[in-house]
Amino acid sequence: MSKRQYFLHGMRDGMPIAIGYFAVAFALGIKAVAAGISAPESALMSLLNLTSAGEAAAIALLGAGTTYVELAFTQLVINIRYLLMSCSLSQKILPETSILHRLLMGYGVTDEIFGISVATDGALSPYYSYGAIAVAAPGWTLGTLLGAILGNVLPARIVGALGVALFAMFLAIILPPARKNRVIAGIVAVSMAASAGLTFLCERMQWTGFTEGFRIIVLTVTIALAAAILFPVKEASGEEACHAD
């Protein structure tokens, strides 16, 4: 495919993500204003970060008057899972892909964009990532901005319902490959059960230091390692059928 085709393909796959991002970011913008962050500052934060959990934690900490050191460390813990995702995606990128392309692709590594990226056939083209980012990032940023400006106009029930959209969208990403492969379906089921069990255990035992970010890292590494050992995937011989321009 050409660069334009890759870009349009990425935009098509990224459109549902943009819609989900808009709904969730709208609620985030409301929380940002309540914490004393202005609408332009909220939008800029979303544009530069693209992380729901990280921004929600940052808003809560800024509202509580935390220090920048504590804020930075919290962001490191929550968002370090993107390092694992980037390492995984690096295996789908052709070796000749430039550093600039890799850096620009890294900006858009989110849970949902990672999901559609690993599901693509063949090598991952930078232009596919750019297409997904081109709709997802504005959706996240615009949602935050409008939430900060207009959020107080909506009823509380509607605002709360908007937060469910991202979870429904993420299910739409993981269910198709799970239906095609029983191993993937089993891993998804085990991951969900393990995540729910670990979260319940942390709350029951009051392990406050074992944050959501750490739980994601532990579960990701453990389950991915177990799956790689129990269900190894043979490497395809020859050149990749799909090449990035």
Kindly indicate the confidence band of residue 166, based on its pLDDT and cuts at 50, 70 and 90. low
The amino acid sitting at 94 is L
Describe the crossing of helices 126-150 and 3-34 by its angle, rounded to 10 degrees. 30
The predicted structure's pLDDT at residue 173: 66
The predicted structure's pLDDT at residue 242: 44
Average pLDDT in the 58-80 region? 80
Nearest CA to 35 out of 64, 75, 68 is that of 64
Describe the crossing of helices 212-230 and 81-90 by its angle, rounded to 10 degrees. 30
Kindly indicate the confidence band of residue 26, based on its pLDDT and cuts at 50, 70 and 90. confident
Q: What percent of the chain has pLDDT over 90?
A: 29
Is residue 48 pLDDT above 70, yes or no?
Answer: yes
Average pLDDT in the 123-151 region? 93
Listed by start position, the domains of the chain span: 3-166, 181-233
Is residue 162 pLDDT above 80, yes or no?
Answer: no
The predicted structure's pLDDT at residue 151: 74
Is residue 12 pLDDT above 90, yes or no?
Answer: yes
Is residue 243 pLDDT above 50, yes or no?
Answer: no
Contact 141, 28 (CB under 8 A): no
Describe the crossing of helices 126-150 and 111-118 by its angle, rounded to 10 degrees. 150
The predicted structure's pLDDT at residue 159: 66
The pair of three-digit structure tokens given for residue 87, joined into one six-digit string: 């390492």
Kindly indicate the confidence band of residue 160, based on its pLDDT and cuts at 50, 70 and 90. low
Residue-wise DSSP of 200-228: HHHHHHT-TTS-HHHHHHHHHHHHHHHHH
C-alpha to C-alpha distances, 114 to 31, 40, 198, 203, nearest whole angstrom: 26, 28, 23, 29
Contact 166, 52 (CB under 8 A): yes
Residue-wise DSSP of 66-118: --HHHHHHHHHHHHTHHHHHHHHHHTTS-TT--HHHHHHHHHT--HHHHHHHH
Least confident of 41-55, 62-76, 107-121: 62-76
Average pLDDT in the 148-162 region? 74
Is residue 157 pLDDT above 80, yes or no?
Answer: no
Nearest CA to 24 out of 99, 136, 109, 120 is that of 136
The predicted structure's pLDDT at residue 245: 46
Helix, strand, coil shares, percent, the chain, to 5: 75, 0, 25
Nearest CA to 110 out of 215, 17, 43, 28 is that of 17
Compute the half-sphere exposure of residue 189: CA atoms within 13 Å on the CB side of its CA.
Answer: 8
User: What average pLDDT does the chain have?
Assistant: 83
Average pLDDT in the 63-92 region? 82
- Give the alpha-carbon dihedral of 194, 49, 132, 245, to 10 degrees: -110
pTM for the model: 0.70
